Every structure is written in structure tokens, then in C-alpha cells.
Amino acid sequence: MNLTISGHHLDVTPALRNYVVSKLERVVRHFDQVVNAAVILVVDPHTEKDSRQKAEISLRLKGRVIFVACASSSLYAAVDALVDRLDRQVLRYKERALTAYGAPAEVFANFDADDAGDDID
């Protein structure tokens, strides 16, 4: 996975970079087919104080791009909320992909092969 972390109106410190990388490991642990991830950390001085710190990610998966943005009063809190939302979206994507292509349909979940086709008259 290629990971790019950049900052707008702030310098990305090694501590902040390590925090983002450690949080994104949870997403990669759930779904390992991540091609590219671009994280943008923003401090916007023109907005209100409660949502001044903003974190965005664009996650490129096989066949799909997932974009998530979160704002908070703290950059660490914004990264936490970002990873929570991203994890939910990745798990939803993984579940849909498995249901569509790999898992058996729910219609045949209670199908018993021993009982089928034996009642021919």
C-alpha cells in the first residue's frame, strides 16, 4: 500500500505521522487489498473553532475509491473519527463484494441436498 500524508497550513510532525499510520493499520488488517491511500490534514483558520482541524482520506481499493472527511477541534480526534468512518465503509464494501461474488446466496442457506429431488412421482 502506498501511503501519502500531507498537511495544509501545518507541518506534519513525526508523531502525527506515526499516529495516522498506526490508526490506518486497523483498516488494512480488515481489508488487505488497498492500493493507495492519500491522507490530507488541514487546519482551516477561517472556520469556527469546533471544526477547524480537518482530516481527509482518499482510499483506492481494487475497483473503487472511498473518500472520507472529518472535522473536529483536535486533529487527533479528527483522525480517530476518520478511521472509524473509513473502517465502517471498508467493511461494508468487503461484505458487499463477498456477497456478490464469493459467498452463497441466502436463498440456499437452508437448502438440504439430501431432501431435494427424491420425491419424483
pLDDT of residue 120: 55
Residue 106: is its pLDDT beyond 90?
A: no
Q: Is residue 49 within 8 Å of residue 71, measured between CB atoms?
A: no
| Amino acid 12: pLDDT | 94
The confidence score (pLDDT) of residue 112 equals 60
Between 116 and 30, the more confident residue is 30
Name the pTM for this structure.
0.77
Higher pLDDT, 87 or 119: 87
**CATH top-level class of 2-102:** alpha beta
Give the pLDDT confidence score for residue 104 in this predicted structure.
Answer: 53
pLDDT of the residue at 69: 96
pLDDT of residue 41: 96
Summarised one tens digit per residue, pLDDT across range 36-74 is 999 999 998 887 777 789 999 999 988 889 999 999 999
What value does the mean pLDDT of the chain take?
Answer: 84
Per-residue pLDDT, 111: 54
Domains of the chain, residue spans = 2-102
